Structure 1
């Protein structure tokens, strides 16, 4: 994606996922360059913090709905196509500081393959995403666990 990234994403990323309500098919959006983080990948040497780690939040906190609204605009989606998946908030330690990762879920009956292709993105199952950097794999594992338990 060669789109200008809004400043709101300097310390934030989104995972974009689809889960079929009937089949429970779970897929994650992957950018052409391979990353599952949107709108840009995590820097090299990033690592997911332990799930029970405490992170000191800055005084200005961005609500995840603001991020979802921004990604909808960036990707040219309708405002109601993605929604924040409550309860998913993970922290990644990067060389540039802590990045907070949220998850947005497609509000569709079928996987959005055709919607993502013009953007150079693909919808992938967890096994298809093997080999991603360790931080991304851990984020995906936690997201998948959250979706299967929720």
Structure 2
């Protein structure tokens, strides 16, 4: 999907601890956000986009995950304005009971808590705050 990024998260079913996948220095997979971006809008009304199933399959393949390892969160969507174009940001959840720490470490990825994201780009940090609020309220 052109101009789309995915925030990939894991929410533990018992403790409700939320972790975000940081890969290549970003939580907006796979290309991060260009400099000068700002969150323009977000919605909890539901995602209306075509190609999300194919994009999730692509994400799974790129990460070396089995089919069904990620599930799109259909109630969250955000738009980020960049100097070049608008970027749609979607949310996808790891479906396993525990996050695949070792598998993501092989890709030099790491699952981080919200507090560990303070060194991220300010726009990414704002997106994580929106996502965290959505997940805890929902």
Q: Say which SS state the counterpart of residue 91 (structure 2) adopts.
A: strand
Q: Aligned runs of 1:1-150 on 2, under 5 Å?
A: 8=1, 10-31=2-23, 33-51=24-42, 61-150=49-138
The two structures, once aligned, show a CA RMSD in angstroms of 1.5
Query: CA offset at residue 140 of structure 1?
Result: 0.4
CA distance in 1, matches of 2:116, 2:100: 16
Partner residue, 1:3: none
CA distance in 2, matches of 1:73, 1:131: 28
Deviations 1:16-70 (A, max 9, x none): 0000011001000001x31111111110111111447xxxx9xxx5332221111
CA distance in 2, matches of 1:38, 1:131: 17
TM norm structure 2: 0.90
Residues matched between the structures, number: 134
TM norm structure 1: 0.84
